Amino acid sequence: MSWEWITSLIENNYLACLILFVGTFLEGETILIIAGIAAQDGTPNIILVILAAFAGSLSGDQTWFFVGRCKGKAFLARRPAWQQRADKVFRILERHHVLLLLGFRFLYGLRNVTPFALGMSEVRTFRFILLNTIGAAIWALSFGMAGYLLGAAIEDVLKHYKIPVLVGLCVAVAIVWLLKVYVRRRRARRSKPA
């Protein structure tokens, strides 16, 4: 199988970073770790990877915060599955205000709904922007470097099989994500009254 087009994509730092920006805008950890692994040999550049992930994560969370601030109740009314997770965010916010604002990216299952719920809360916009910026920097640096160090640990494999390994990781992640979506939708259908 010819991997030349994938190789040229990875070697184009700016295109790879644009894809990473979009991926971290929407979700994040897995694509950042894979990009960190790919950056182990210098293409793409690890600094650009971390900066793109920081910008994508920060932008996505700011967007969700303002959606929550402007359209929160109407948005939740159309997505009842989010209500339970938003309620959990509000409970955590009461006890761990600063920690939640700094570290919500590390909370599995609450990562996407938290900035939205925070937008609906009494959290001041400037406070959210400040702590969200710090949290995004910590997140991008930690997951980017985790991938980079993992890439260093499997350097011998990557020397010979970098593209198949990265493609395999992406396919595995896509399959897991699709299975999660399928299970979530199936549960939602079962819970609806007949």
Predicted pLDDT of residue 131? 94
Q: Look up tokens 């793109």; give the residue.
A: 52
- The number of folded domains in the chain is 1
> How confident is the model at residue 155, as a pLDDT?
74
> Which of 141, 169, 172, 139 lies closest to 157 in space, CA to CA?
169
> Is the pLDDT score of 7 beyond 60?
no
Q: Which residue has the tokens 């970073």?
A: 17
- For the whole model, what pTM was predicted? 0.75
Q: Does 186 or 47 have the greater pLDDT score?
A: 47
SS3 for 160? helix
Give the Cα separation of 55 and 27 in Å (integer).
13
Query: Residue 98 region, left (φ>0) first, then alpha (ψ -120 to 50), else beta?
Result: alpha
Q: How far apart are CA 24 and CA 36, in angstroms?
A: 13
In the three-class reduction of DSSP (H, G, I as helix; E, B as strand; rest coil), residue 170 is classed as: helix
Cα-based distances in Å from 103 to 3, 12, 131? 38, 32, 9
Mean per-residue pLDDT, 153-182: 75
User: Closest Cα partner for 93 from 56, 143, 131?
Assistant: 131
Mean pLDDT estimate for the chain: 80
Q: Which residue has the higher pLDDT, 13 or 118?
A: 118
Identify residue 70 by its one-letter amino acid code.
C
50 versus 23: which is more confidently predicted? 50
Which domain range does residue 64 map to? 4-191
pLDDT in tens, 29-68: 888 888 888 888 777 788 888 998 999 999 999 998 999 9
* 151-156 mean pLDDT: 77
Dihedral angle sign, alpha carbons of residues 3, 152, 106, 126: negative
If pLDDT is split at 50, 70 and 90, which confidence band does 132 have?
very high
Tell which wins on pLDDT, 183 or 142: 142
- pLDDT of 130 above 70: yes
DSSP, collapsed to helix, strand or coil, labels residue 154 as: coil
> Number of C-alpha atoms within 13 angstroms, CB side, residue 71?
8
